[in-house]
Amino acid sequence: MKIGVLGGDGYCGWATALYLSAKGYSVAIMDNFARRQWDYELGVQTLTPIRPLAERLRVWQELTGKSIQLFVGDVTDYDFLASTIKAFEPDAVIHFAEQRAAPYSMIDRRHAVFTQVNNVVGTLNLLFALREYCPDCHLVKLGTMGEYGTPNIDIEEGYIEIEHNGRKDVLPFPKQPGSFYHLSKVHDSHNMMFACKIWKLRATDLNQGVVYGTTTEETLLDEALINRFDYDEVFGTVLNRFCAQAAVGHPLTVYGRGGQTRGFLDIRDTVRCVELACLHPAEPGECRVFNQFTEQFSVLEIAELVKAAGNKLGLDVEIDRIQDPRVESEQHYYNAKHSRLLDLGLKPHYLSDSLLDSLMNIAVRYRDRIDVSMFLPQVDWRKASNERRTVREVTSSLVARV
C-alpha cells in the first residue's frame, strides 16, 4: 500500500510515517515545515531537540534500509498538492497538515483567519485533488474530539439517531466547538461529508483526543529520530505542561476548577489507529467517524497522576489553580463512545503504564531546555485582540501571507 502523510514532519505525522514505513508500506511525506516556523514565531522550542527533516530521513534509511519520499510544499497551494497526488498515486492519504492549536487560533484576528484559511482551504484542495487524480484513494483525516464540545448527553461516534415529531433520522452529531481552531475542523468534517456524497470519495474522520508520549519503537532507534515534546501554553498539551513543570519544581497550573474532562491516547495508539483505518477503508461515498481515544481524565486527575509520578522520581510536586483563560465549562458531564477502533483490533496503551517512561523521564532528561516563562497563559479567549505582537517580532511567512 502506498500511503501519503501530509504534515509528516509534525508530532503525529512523524511518528505515523516511521511506523508505516517500518511496517513495509511505501510512504511519502508532504510538508512545508510550518510547525517549525511557529516555534520560531512564538519564541519557543520543543523540549526534545528536533533534527532537520532531511537528517531524520537519512538516519532512518541508514538504520532500516527503508526510504521515505519527501515532497516539500503547502497544501493551500493546489498546484503543488495536485501534482504530488498525481505523481505519488497513493492508496491512502493521512491528513495531518493543519494548524492544530486552539490557543494559537485565539491569539488575534490574524491567527484566527490564518488557522481557518490554512485548515479549510487545505482540506478542500485535497478533496478536489483526490477527485481529479485518485478518486479511489482513502482519505484518513485527523479530526478532533473538540468538535463535539461538552454536551450533557453521551457523545456518539460522529452520528446520532434522532426522533423528532414522530420521525427518525441519523444525523451528524451536534457540534459545539470551543475555538476558531475547532471550528475549522467542523468545517472540514462538513466538507468531507459533502464531497463523499457528491463524488463518491471514501473518507475516515479520526476525531482524536489529547495525544501524549514522545517515544515509539521507531523513534527509540536513534536520538536523531526523537519526536516533539511541546509544553508551552500555545502548542503544549496540559499533560506535557504538567510534566515539564514537575521536572523543574514549578507548581502544576490547573485552569480553574480543573473539572475539564477530555479523551486521551498514547502516540503508539495514534499510529496504530491510522493503520487500522487504512487496512479497513471506508466504502465509496462513505464518510465515517471514529472517536480516537482510549481513556478520559479531568485536568485535576491528570495533575494528581503527574504529582504521583513525580514523587516516585523524588520530585517535590505541588498543584496550583489559576484563572482559566479559556471560555469553557470547568465542571461538566463527559461520556464519549469510542468502540469502533477497538472493534477493528486496537489494543490500547494506558497512561498509568507509560507516564514515567514516555513523559516524566523525558521531561527530567531534557529539563535544562525548559523555559519556565512559557508555562503561564498569555492568550485569553475573552480578550483576543484585533492584532497582537507575538513573543518575538518575527512573523512566519505563512501567517503574513494571510
Catalytic one of 185, 219, 270, 334: 185
Residue pair 306/252 in contact by the 8 Å Cβ criterion? yes
Q: What b/e readout covers 291-302, taking b as 16+ CB neighbours within 10 angstroms?
A: bbbbbbbbbbeb
Catalytic one of 76, 115, 144, 204: 144
Q: Which grid cell is 90?
A: 497513493
DSSP state of 382: G
- Beta-strand pair 26-31/69-72: parallel
Asked about 181 being catalytic, the answer comes back as: yes
Catalytic one of 181, 255, 334, 366: 181
* Dihedral sign for Cα atoms in the order 110, 33, 275, 239: negative
289 φ/ψ angles, rounded to the nearest 5 degrees: -130, 130
Residue pair 26/1 in contact by the 8 Å Cβ criterion? yes
From the list 351, 261, 266, 349, the residue with the least C-alpha distance to 300 is 261
From the list 183, 208, 164, 45, the residue with the least C-alpha distance to 102 is 183
Q: From start to end of 282-334, where are the E strands?
A: 287-292, 295-298, 319-322
Asked about 144 being catalytic, the answer comes back as: yes
Packing angle between helix 267-279 and helix 11-22, nearest 10 degrees?
60
Distances (CA, A) of 220 to 15, 50, 231, 360, 400: 11, 14, 20, 16, 37
Continuous H helices in 75-234: 78-88, 102-105, 109-116, 122-133, 180-199
- For the beta sheet containing 295-298, the strands, ordered from the edge strand earlier in sequence to the opposite edge, are 210-212, 261-266, 295-298
Asked about 185 being catalytic, the answer comes back as: yes
Give catalytic residue positions. 144, 181, 185
